[in-house]
């Protein structure tokens, strides 16, 4: 559903939503090809995040940006500390939702394209029962929860809704083994938050056509609208 009229939708009014633009500071994230202008992922993440935040504010949500609350990463801040800082922003204010915005990369593969969402059933700060491990093709283990807590269940539901709805803009879905574009990965920011949380990969930096598309403001606005529409449906159900 597309909500044409900008009004304070009751289900979003007063909701505290933390928006996390991935990477930043000395960490540019992925970088697109010189032919596309060597775009930094961190810049695209910030652009998409701010457009989303401005729209959420118009719908009555209380928006907090992690980049406004934490120091930009420098040589004195490790990756682990940077991620912890981002999570702390959401946990300390007991936010209703945490969304992290990223863009994917598959170098040297330049044809990979599409979107995906990521959540974590493993929530060590909330629940440590029913845990299992799955070995990945990269040789590392993913921990997941066979009896997930409420925040994890809601994250799964929202991740599924988001990837399906954003894909209607003409994006492919990057599936996992079960065919879903919503991946149960115990990524740091989705694992260590204490509320529903989803990380969105909004297209590939390594694909020249796709990165130029997602760098367009009109496309970023369309993605933001799809996210907001999804949140309205999520909180209305």
Tens digit of each residue's pLDDT (9 = 90 or more) over 3-24: 445 555 689 999 999 999 999 9
- CA nearest neighbour of 102 among 207, 28, 177, 17: 28
Could you tell me the maximum CA-CA distance found in the chain, to the nearest angstrom? 49
Tell me if 129 is assigned to some domain.
yes
Please state the rounded mean pLDDT for residues 55-78. 96
Tell me if 2 is assigned to some domain.
no
Q: Which residue has the tokens 């969304």?
A: 99
Tell me if 24 is assigned to some domain.
yes
Query: How confident is the model at residue 232, as a pLDDT?
Result: 98
163 CB-contact burial (10 Å; exposed 0-12 / middle 13-18 / buried 19+): buried
DSSP letters for 98-162: EEEEEEE--TT--S---EEEEE-S-BTTTB-SSEEEEE-TTS-EEEEESS--HHHHHHHHHHHHH
Query: How confident is the model at residue 170, as a pLDDT?
Result: 97
Query: How confident is the model at residue 8, as a pLDDT?
Result: 55
Query: How confident is the model at residue 209, as a pLDDT?
Result: 98
Please state the rounded mean pLDDT for residues 46-72. 97
**pLDDT tens-place string over residues 178-208:** 668 999 989 999 999 999 999 999 999 999 9
Tell me if 8 is assigned to some domain.
no
Task: Retrieve residue 227's tokens.
Answer: 């996210």
Query: How confident is the model at residue 175, as a pLDDT?
Result: 80
Q: Is the pLDDT of residue 2 over 70?
A: no
Tell me if 3 is assigned to some domain.
no
Q: List the domain range (segments joined by +) for residue 160.
A: 16-236
Tell me if 78 is assigned to some domain.
yes
> What total of structural domains would you count in the chain?
1
Please state the rounded mean pLDDT for residues 144-165. 97
Q: How far apart are CA 196 and CA 16, in angstroms?
A: 12
Q: Is the pLDDT of residue 68 over 90?
A: yes
Tell me if 42 is assigned to some domain.
yes
Report the CATH number that the domain containing residue 198 is assigned in CATH: 3.40.630.40
What Rg value do the Cα atoms of the chain yield, rounded? Answer: 17
Long-range contacts, 135-142 (Cβ 8 Å, 24+): 142/184, 142/185, 142/186
CA 120-46-197 angle, 5° bins: 20
165 CB-contact burial (10 Å; exposed 0-12 / middle 13-18 / buried 19+): middle
Peptide bond before residue 108 is cis, with ω within 30 degrees of 0: yes
Q: What is the average pLDDT score of the chain? A: 93
Task: Retrieve residue 66's tokens.
Answer: 């992690």
pLDDT band at 177 (very low <50, low <70, confident <90, very high): low
Task: Retrieve residue 112's tokens.
Answer: 């990979």
Tell me if 149 is assigned to some domain.
yes
């Amino acid at each position: 559903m597309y909500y044409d009229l900008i009004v304070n939708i009751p289900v979003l009014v007063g909701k505290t939503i933390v928006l996390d633009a991935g990477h930043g500071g000395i960490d540019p994230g992925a970088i697109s090809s010189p032919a596309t202008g060597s775009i930094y992922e961190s810049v695209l993440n910030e652009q998409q995040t701010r457009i989303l935040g401005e729209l959420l504010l118009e719908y009555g949500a209380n928006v907090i940006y992690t980049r406004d609350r934490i120091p930009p990463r420098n040589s004195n801040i490790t990756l682990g500390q940077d991620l912890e800082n981002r999570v702390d922003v959401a946990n300390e204010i007991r936010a209703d939702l945490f969304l992290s915005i990223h863009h994917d990369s598959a170098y040297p593969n330049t044809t990979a394209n599409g979107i995906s969402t990521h959540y974590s059933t493993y929530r060590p700060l909330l629940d440590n029962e029913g845990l299992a491990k799955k070995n990945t093709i990269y040789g590392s283990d993913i921990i997941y929860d066979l009896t997930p807590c409420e925040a994890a269940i809601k994250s799964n539901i929202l991740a599924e809704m988001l990837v399906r709805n954003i894909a209607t803009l003409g994006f492919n879905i990057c599936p996992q083994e079960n065919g879903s574009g919503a991946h149960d990965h115990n990524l740091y920011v989705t694992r260590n938050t204490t509320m529903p949380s989803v990380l969105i990969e909004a297209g590939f930096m390594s694909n020249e056509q796709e990165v130029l598309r997602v760098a367009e403001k009109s496309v970023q606005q369309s993605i933001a609208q799809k996210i907001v529409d999804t949140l309205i449906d999520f909180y209305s159900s």
